[in-house]
Structure 1
Amino acid sequence: MISYSIAIRTLGKAGKKYQKLLNSITKLNVQPEKIIVVLPEGYKPPVEKIGTECFVYSKKGMIPQRLFALQYITSEYTLFCDDDVELSADFIEKLAEPLKSGRFDCSAGPLLEFFPPKGKKYLLASVLGGACVMLHGKKDTYVRILKTGGWSYNDSIDTSSHRIYKTESLPGTCFFIRTEAMKHVRFEDEMWAEKNGYSAFEDRILFYKLQNNGHHSCVVSDAKYLHNDAKTSTQTLRTEPVYAAAYNHYVFWYRHIYQCTSNVLNKGWEKLCIWHYIQMQKLYQKVLMRAGRSNTDLNAAMKQGFQDAKKYVKSTEYKCIPSVVIKE
């Protein structure tokens, strides 16, 4: 018996894609104890319904909507998902297996579409320091966080076989977690990521914080699901996500990497890494502008994001945020 509930965050606008999620839930081999659907305050619930879900309302935001469901859940495990995924019938059993072994507190299926495609885009991502193919550890690792704040990934995942890969980060699209671990990690302390109206890297922040607090995550290679990507929240944004990506990247690096390091030499290396990352981002924006694929507003937004983040981590407001590593 697997004691779990499902928490879905939505704006109620995913339509047919949300219906596909609901249909897949009804076909799961192991049914949830509860289905909690979290909408922002003032939003109408979707017309698509199963009939057993509970609609609740929170402040709008990726993090607030994710956390709000926890106060209604008493199950041992929780499946957190967005409103645009489809789950395979045996999804829950496969994700529960590594958690029951005691080695991991969080699991997910592979979402390989999030990896940079091979070719020019891969080379570009590697040079920029944001993402690169893992050079070692491919036998047992899915994603590793780099000292730039970026990540390296395993490009050799075989979804046709059953394997468990440890990981330091995951897409927040869909994951299965021990409920007490989610509560223990105090994700509410990371609300700074919502400051700019676009919570860039909120998944990286969550899973690496779990890692820093001894709650290990994994990917089950054959736990399959589809990501239909409703794209309801950022279609009209331009400078906002560019600014937020720069801002959140720097604060994530400072808070979850630099401040979690005690060795002076390692801290020096991490400073060099983030300096390299920022310089490469600035260079990339210049290249894009010359190619007509960016503009001065986007370039200015990126620079301002990094500048404001550096000021923020020295502010009184930031110093009031509890440490990443939770002391009992």
Structure 2
Amino acid sequence: MRTIDWRDDHIVAVDQTALPDAVRMLDIHTVAELTDAIRRLAIRGAPALGVAGALGAALAAREPADVCRRQVEALRQARPTAVNLAWGVDRAMRRLPEGPAAVLAEALGILDEDVRANRALAARGADWLLAHGAARLNVQTHCNAGGLACVEWGTALGVVRALHERGALGRVYVDETRPLLQGSRLTTWELARLGIEHTLVVDSAGPSVLARGLADAVLVGADRIAANGDVINKIGTYPLALAAARAGIPFVVAAPESTLDPDSPTGQDVEIEIRDGAEIVHMGQIRTAPAGTPTLNLAFDLTPADLVTAIVTEHRVIHPAKGERP
């Protein structure tokens, strides 16, 4: 099953807000529908957003020039922190002078490249972990960086899948990932379908999992990687990096080359999305804080390069903690 695809001149995508209760597909015919799906996280995950941006550009390319420009800019800004979204839009739109068919061809190329890239980085990540650890590993992950965050394979969970296929994976400890529970709703759903042993923990227990020696490595994805190796990922990643450093275990980021952003010198230069506070004063439809409670709903955090043991892409392994830069 592909998380996002092109079918009969429109986008089809898994509605990730419906999981784990139902597998529901979205049929998206307009850029406005796509932008809405991205903003409400029905489509999410850095590589999937790159593909969505490219396919959205193909939709926009059918429109008159002024409409196309407005739609493309709104789409680029739908999730400002995730660099892949704007990357996908811009790469596809460079073909616009050749006509809408060329934009679509570029977008479909990006879609197929995502599958190949993530399979390659998954194999490279598994190789690196096995070369730097035990023959059988327990890992801890945060948020969702599996097939749902890509087209059909995964980044961090792609590495997990590669370890599992080699018989080298023990157990995966999954952080729930507040406030929208991408870990408990999405990652556990994927792991169960793959037959991978896993245990769900609350976010605040994540560092204690490492302190107790239950995991041999932390494995996460990324939404943007700055030129100095700083990593921007789902809020709650930074505490895991601190805990991994304290426990003396690798903190590994798995992300395609498209997530590397040479135009952001450091993580401090990246805009961190702040989402609606309603997400943290409700659990589903249930209110968990008094009405009017002030909130700061940071969607992402910054993990400094010196805490990042390795960044694994489809082409290479970078070691920021040793001073290497992307």
TM-score tier after normalising by the smaller chain length: under 0.3
TM-score, length basis structure 2: 0.27
Q: Taking CA–CA contacts closer than 8 Å with sequence separation of 6 or more, which of the two structures ends up with the larger relative contact order? A: 1
TM-score, length basis structure 1: 0.27
